[in-house]
């Protein structure tokens, strides 16, 4: 299941770039135990690798997606539509937002 989720994330990132999107929001859930979930953890490890290789600009886990977070401020500057996102300031650890 995790491998399929990472393949899907890779597809969506590539598609988003081709379509000229600025950002992508992944809704991955936070696991049935409430303690993190394998997809969430592995997706964020994968995004860290992509960010280190400069294949994405940055990503913000949902629990940090709030206006006082420095990376969220960068997201909002690059993609103003995210200021209207319903998960902004909700500390939703079931999402991750990526700046392409």
Q: Which domains does the chain have, with CATH numbers?
A: 2-99 (3.30.1370.110)
Please, are residues 51 and 58 in contact by the beta-carbon 8 Å criterion? yes
List Cβ neighbours of 28 (8 Å cut-off, separation of 6 or more): 5, 37, 39, 40, 43, 94, 95, 96
Mean model confidence pLDDT for the chain: 94
pLDDT of residue 33: 62
pLDDT of residue 37: 85
Condensed to tens digits (0 to 9), the pLDDT of residues 10-29 reads 999 999 999 999 999 999 99
pLDDT of residue 7: 98
Condensed to tens digits (0 to 9), the pLDDT of residues 26-73 reads 999 987 665 568 999 999 999 999 999 999 999 999 999 999 999 999
């Amino acid at each position: 299941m995790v491998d399929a989720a990472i393949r899907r994330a890779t597809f969506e990132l590539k598609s988003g770039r081709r379509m000229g999107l600025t950002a992508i929001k992944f809704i991955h859930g936070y696991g049935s135990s409430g303690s993190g979930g394998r997809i969430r953890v592995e997706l964020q490890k994968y995004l860290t690798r992509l960010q280190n290789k400069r294949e994405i600009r940055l990503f913000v886990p949902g629990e940090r997606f709030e206006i006082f977070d420095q990376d969220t401020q960068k997201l909002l500057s690059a993609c103003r539509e995210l200021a209207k996102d319903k998960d902004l300031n909700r500390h939703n650890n079931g999402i991750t937002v990526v700046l392409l």
